[in-house]
Structure 1
Amino acid sequence: MSQTVVLGVIGSDAHVVGITILEQAFNAAGFDVINLGVQTSQEEFAEAALEHDAAAVLVSSLYGHAEQDCQGFHETLESTGVDATTYIGGNLTVGQDDFEETRATFEELGFDRVFDSETDTEEAVAALTQDLRQRTQETERATISS
């Protein structure tokens, strides 16, 4: 059974190339991909993830204002009933100098993984495959021990 991922570009960002490449890579890896396109609101991500029972929500941003756009993102997902693995990637800050600081900022916002704009699609696919496998195993163990 293939797993569904929802992806899109958050906020006012209109950069489409990154999500188009991600869509192709995740489709080729056997995922069902729901591509929300550009200028996607937090609510649109949450509604699509809920509607499609998404295992993951992948957020892209290239215009440097992702921190502003992602304030409250995980609260929006949670209030909608979405419990999905979340990734964000791209050029997330203006003048992105120290990516480790950027990574820490977005992890504090609740993202499971944070990628810079130089990340290889194969790396993202491998990471998500691993994370979803681990999440499934943890859920199965919790069910067995209940």
Structure 2
Amino acid sequence: MEKRKVNKSVVIGTIGADAHMIGGWVLQKTFKDAGFTVAFLGAVVPQQEFINAAIEINADAILVSSMYGMGLLDCEGFRGKCIEAGLKDIILYVGGTVAAPLELDKNWPEIERRFREMGFNRVFRVSTTAAEVAKTLKEDLGIA
């Protein structure tokens, strides 16, 4: 992916009690290579920390990762907190193993629907590549 400044910024991290970081590192590198300013918060990040970072860097999007299967619980109320903080229009993405693995295999449309009802703009399966997420965000921001 070629490096070029796109004048857009993102906040990336792993939400809740989830301690995985490899996906976040991959996303961080991919988004930096795509020209984004990136605030990578690491793992075990509370909702409010995502919001504070988004305000601090004037982020265009927040990308929440969850691999331990509790994403539905960890992300509940997140859009509302963003709105309360003045981030009504921020793009919210979530990805990874966002629900219990058996639930994902059996019922992906329902999982996706539940996250969309919670206010997430996009919900990505664990098999989605970082490059696909960066391309999608550029399209959603009208800079593709």
- SS of the equivalent of 1:133 reads coil
Report the CA distance between 1:130 and its aligned residue.
0.4
Report the CA distance between 1:128 and its aligned residue.
0.1
Report the CA distance between 1:112 and its aligned residue.
0.3
- Corresponding residue number in structure 2 for 1:103: 112
Report the CA distance between 1:133 and its aligned residue.
1.0
Report the CA distance between 1:73 and its aligned residue.
0.3
Counterpart-to-counterpart distance in 1, 2:59 and 2:84: 15
Name the aligned partner's letter for residue 10 of structure 1: I
After the TM superposition, list the runs of 4 or more consecutive aligned residues in structure 1 that deviate by more than 4 angstroms. none
**Of 75, 96, 99, the match for 1:93:** 99
- Corresponding residue number in structure 1 for 2:17: 12
Greater shift, 5-14 or 75-84, is seen at 75-84
Report the CA distance between 1:101 and its aligned residue.
1.4
Name the aligned partner's letter for residue 66 of structure 1: G
- Corresponding residue number in structure 1 for 2:127: 118
Report the CA distance between 1:123 and its aligned residue.
1.0
Identity within the alignment, %: 40
For residues 7-64 of structure 1, the C-alpha deviation after alignment (integer angstroms, 9 at most, x for no partner) is: 1000000000011000010000000000011010110011110111000000000000
Greater shift, 84-93 or 1-10, is seen at 1-10
For residues 63-98 of structure 1, the C-alpha deviation after alignment (integer angstroms, 9 at most, x for no partner) is: 000000011101111111113111000001112222
Counterpart-to-counterpart distance in 1, 2:134 and 2:83: 24
Name the aligned partner's letter for residue 52 of structure 1: I
Counterpart-to-counterpart distance in 2, 1:42 and 1:131: 22
Name the aligned partner's letter for residue 59 of structure 2: A
Query: For this pair of structures, how many residues does the alignment match?
Result: 134
Report whether the alignment pairs 1:59 with 2:68.
no
Name the aligned partner's letter for residue 88 of structure 1: V
Name the aligned partner's letter for residue 25 of structure 1: T
Greater shift, 124-133 or 76-85, is seen at 76-85
Question: Between Structure 1 and Structure 2, which shows a larger proportion of helix residues?
Answer: 1
Name the aligned partner's letter for residue 51 of structure 1: E
Q: Which runs of 5+ in 1 are unaligned?
A: 135-146
